[in-house]
Structure 1
Amino acid sequence: MDTQSDSRSEPRNDFPRIISVDDHTVEPAHVWQDRLPKRYLDTGPRIVRAPLKEMTFLGGRFKPVMGDPGSQEGPLGDWWVYEDLHRPLTRLDTAVGYSRDDIKLEVITYEQMRAGSYDVPRRLADMDVNHVQSALCFPTFPRFCGQTFTEAADKDLALLCVRAYNDWMVEEWCGPEAHGRLIPLTLIPLWDAELAAQEVRRNARRGVRAVAFSEIPPHLGLPSVHTDAWDPFLAACDETGTVVAMHIGSSSRMPSTSADAPPAVGSTITFANCCFSMVDWLMSGKFERFPNLRIMYAEGQIGWIPYILERADVVWEENRGWGGVADKVHRPPSELFAGHVHGCFFDDAFGLRNLDSIGVGNVLYETDYPHSDSTWPESRQVGEAQMGHLPGDVVERIVRGNAIELLGLTEDGLWQGAR
C-alpha cells in the first residue's frame, strides 16, 4: 500500500471519533480511604494539604519535600501520604487548559486542576470537546505501572491497595456513569508473578483487557523478561487476551544524559526506554511461548521503530551464533513485531510518513489528556494535519479500529465489561 499517495487531498470532514489509548486519571482523594480496611486508613494512601519546602526534577529524578501541614513554609498543595512517601499533585499531572508558558513544575490542589482530571462527567465533557469517543487511562499516584505499591514496605497493605485501585477503576471510573467511554487499565502486584496472574484473571472476568507493566523491570529491582520469573503473569495475559501496556517512565527512570541535565533533555528522548524495552521483548522468546500475547507502548511515538526493526533483523540473522537467541527466537524480530507489538503516538508526522515500514495494524492514537504534552483540545486538528495524506480506511484503523480490535471493544468503540 502506498500510504504517501494523495498527499494533495483536501482535509476530510469525517475524521473518525478518536479512541485514545493513553490518557491519565488523577485519582480522587477517596479511592483508598473508601476501600481499605479501617486498620489501614492511617497508613494507606490519603490526601494531606501541606506546603512545599523544596522540589527538584533533574537527571530524570523528581524530589519534592513536604513542609509541616498548617505551616507557612511554602506554596500549598495536596499531597498523597502513604507509609513514608510524600508525593504532591503537580501542574505536570494536569496541565490542560493552561498555556505552554504557564506550565511549570509546581504543587497544586484539586481546586487548581481541571475537574476532568478526576471527575467522570467532566472528563466525558472534555472528551467531547476533543473529538474523543473513548479513552484508556493510566494512573497518577500509583505511577504508571504501580511502582508506588511495589516499593512499599507492607506488602499485605500494598496488595490491598492494588486491588482497591482496580476496583475503583472498573466499578467507578469505568462504571455506569462513563457509559462505556472509559476503558479500564488495571495494575498488578509486580513483586509476585503468581499474585499478578491471579489479579489479571480476576479483572479479566470483569471484562478488563489491559494491564499496566514496566517497560524495563530491572530498573525497579525486578527480574527481566529474559527470565522465566514472569511466566505465570504472561500466561494469564495470553489466556485472557489481556494486553500488556507499558508507558514511558514505567521503569521509574526517565532517559537522561547526566544528573544535571534539564528536563528538556529527557523529554526529547522519552522514546528511548520504549526502544530498549521492545528489543528486550523481541529477543526474549516470549512471543514464541505465548502466541496470543500482545504488548503496547504508550507515549513512545513511532518514528524510531523502522530502524530498530531493521537492525534487530540483521542481528538476529547475522549474529545468531553468539547472540544468545538462536534457540528461542525462531522468526525475524520484524515478524514478531507485526503480530505482537503496538506503538502509540499523538504527534509524530515522521512516523506517519514511514507507516509502510511500521505496519498500519501496529499503530494506535492517543491524546495524553491531561498532561502537558496533550494535544487537547485540538487532537482532531492535529490528527487531520498529520494524517491528511493517508487513505480514509487507514486513518480509521489508526484512530480507532486497531484499538477496538486490541482492547476487545464493541463495534461502536465502547467498553461493556464482562460480556
Structure 2
Amino acid sequence: MDLPRIVSVDDHVIEPAHLFSTWLPARYRDRGPRPVTQGIGPLVYQGGKYRFTTDPDGPPTDWWVYEDLLFPYKRVIAAVGFDRDAMTLEGITRAEMRPGCWDPAERLKDMDLNHVEASLCFPTFPRFCGQTFAEARDKEVALACVRAYNDWMVEEWCGDSGGRLIPLCLIPLWDVELAVAEIHRNAARGVRAVTFSELPTHLGLPSIHTGYWDPFFAACAETRTVINLHIGSSSQMPAASPDAPPAVQATLSFNNAMASLADYLFSGVLVRHPDLRLAYSEGQMGWIPYALERADDVWREHRAWGGVRDLIPEPPSAYYYRQVYCCFFRDRHGVDSIDVVGRDNATFETDYPHVDSTFPHTREVALDHVRGLDEETIHKLMRGNAIRMLGLDLDATPHSGV
C-alpha cells in the first residue's frame, strides 16, 4: 500500500544551548535562562511529581538554570536512538542525543528517514505551554523569554526548513492582553499555531468558564490560529494513588484531554467563537466516541439542572465535529471507530524524540493502523486534515466539517 507522506502534529524540540544568549535582548541575559552541564543526583518521585538534584559525582547532564529553577534534560524526552530499556529518567547531554533533537537540519534528515514531510514541535524547557515563564517571579524578563523563544522558533528552528518545520508559539499565560498581542505579532509573520494549557485552573489561572480568556480566543479565531492542548500542559498527569508508579500516569494520560474537551463543550466558548479551532495533542482518540455520547446524553437529559440549557444550543458533539481536532499514533480502537471520531477531525503524530515516538518505524506503524481504509480517508488522517487545520501550503483533498 502507498502511504502519503505524513504531517505530524505533535513532535518536540530540545532547545539548543545558544537559544537565549542569541535571541534574548542583551539587557535581560544575566537574568534569563543559562545552560550548564553538571552531574545529576538520584531521582525522587513523590505525589505524581519528579524532583531532581545536582551531584558533582553524578552522570553529566545538560540543565537550564533560571531564577531558582534547575531543569535537566532526561533520556525519556530525547529517547530516539536508545534501546527501549535504556529510555530512562537518567540525565542526558546534547552530545549524547541524536542531533535531530535540537538541530533543525538534522531533524529534517530524520523526518526523511521517517516518512514525514512536515512537523509541529512543542517546547521542552518552557514546558508544553510555557509554564516555566508563567511561574517566574520577574515577569518583565519572562515576557522577553516568551518572545525570544517565539523568535527562535519562527526564524531559526523553522526558518530554513522550506515550510517543513511548522512554528508553534507560546503566549505569556499570566496576562491575557499580552497574550493577545503575542498572537497578533506572530500571526503577522505567518504563525498559525499556539500552545495553551488543557486545564488552566491547574496552573492557578482563570477558568475558561469565566470569560477571562475570551479576548485570547477571539484573537485566535480572527487570525485562524489553532490552539494546541497537549496532555500534561496543566503541569500534572492523572494518577490513581500518590504512590502509584509512573506507568499509571502514562496509561491514564488521555484523561486530561477528555476532561479538557468536556470543559470546552459545556463552556460556551465554541458557541461564542465559531471560528475557533482546538487541537488535542498526544491524547489519542479511542476515548472520544463515548465522551461525545455521554456529553450529548447529559445535554439532552440533564441540561435544565446542569447549567447549560441556555448556554449550549446544539448537542455538544456538533461543536466537536465543527471545531475540534484530535491526533493519534498508536490507537487501533480509535481507527476502528473513525466514523464516530470523525474522518475530518483526526490527525497523526510521531512524538519524536520522546519515549513514545514511532521513529524510525512510523510508516510501518501507520500502515498497520490504516490498512483497510479507503484512499481518501488515509490521505486525510496522514496529512490532509493537518494541512487544513494549520493552513499549510501543501496539497490537501476536498473536505467538509471542521
TM score, norm. by length of structure 2: 0.97
Identify the residue that residue 110 of structure 1 maps to in structure 2.
94
Whole-Å separation in 2 of the counterparts to 1:389 and 1:58: 45
User: 1:63 aligned to 2:51?
Assistant: yes
CA shift at 1:412, angstroms? Answer: 3.8
Identify the residue that residue 48 of structure 1 maps to in structure 2.
36
2:84 to 88, 97, 100: 100
1:44 is paired with a residue of what secondary structure? Answer: coil
User: 1:405 aligned to 2:388?
Assistant: yes
Moved more, 45-54 or 394-403: 45-54
Whole-Å separation in 1 of the counterparts to 2:47 and 2:85: 22
1:194 to 170, 177, 194: 177
2:223 to 211, 236, 240: 240
Whole-Å separation in 1 of the counterparts to 2:319 and 2:136: 36
Q: Is the 8 A contact 1:313 1:334 kept in 2?
A: yes
Whole-Å separation in 1 of the counterparts to 2:45 and 2:123: 20
Per-residue CA distance 1:260-306 (angstroms, 9 max, x = gap): 11110000111000000000000000111111000011100000000
User: 1:20 aligned to 2:20?
Assistant: no
Identify the residue that residue 260 of structure 2 maps to in structure 1.
277
Identify the residue that residue 161 of structure 1 maps to in structure 2.
145
Q: Is the 8 A contact 2:48 2:243 kept in 1?
A: no
2:236 is paired with a residue of what secondary structure? Answer: coil
Q: Is the 8 A contact 1:20 1:367 kept in 2?
A: yes
Moved more, 288-297 or 253-262: 253-262
Identify the residue that residue 242 of structure 2 maps to in structure 1.
259
Identify the residue that residue 175 of structure 1 maps to in structure 2.
159
User: 1:290 aligned to 2:296?
Assistant: no
1:342 to 322, 325, 331: 325
Whole-Å separation in 2 of the counterparts to 1:304 and 1:221: 27
User: 1:220 aligned to 2:215?
Assistant: no
CA shift at 1:58, angstroms? Answer: 4.3
1:38 to 15, 22, 26: 26
Letter in 2 for 1:158: A
Letter in 1 for 2:132: T
Whole-Å separation in 2 of the counterparts to 1:42 and 1:260: 39
Identify the residue that residue 3 of structure 1 maps to in structure 2.
none
Letter in 1 for 2:72: P
Letter in 2 for 1:66: T
Whole-Å separation in 2 of the counterparts to 1:29 and 1:249: 24
Aligned residues: 396
CA shift at 1:257, angstroms? Answer: 1.4
Q: Is the 8 A contact 1:59 1:262 kept in 2?
A: no
1:66 is paired with a residue of what secondary structure? Answer: coil
Identify the residue that residue 68 of structure 2 maps to in structure 1.
84
Structure with more contact order per residue of length (Cα contacts < 8 Å, sep ≥ 6): 1
Q: Is the 8 A contact 1:58 1:263 kept in 2?
A: no
Letter in 2 for 1:106: E
Residue identity (%): 57
Q: Which runs of 5+ in 1 are unaligned?
A: 1-11, 414-419
Q: CA RMSD in A?
A: 1.0
Per-residue CA distance 1:336-357 (angstroms, 9 max, x = gap): 1000111111110000001111
Q: Which runs of 5+ in 2 are unaligned?
A: 397-402
Whole-Å separation in 2 of the counterparts to 1:149 and 1:60: 22
Whole-Å separation in 2 of the counterparts to 1:59 and 1:391: 46
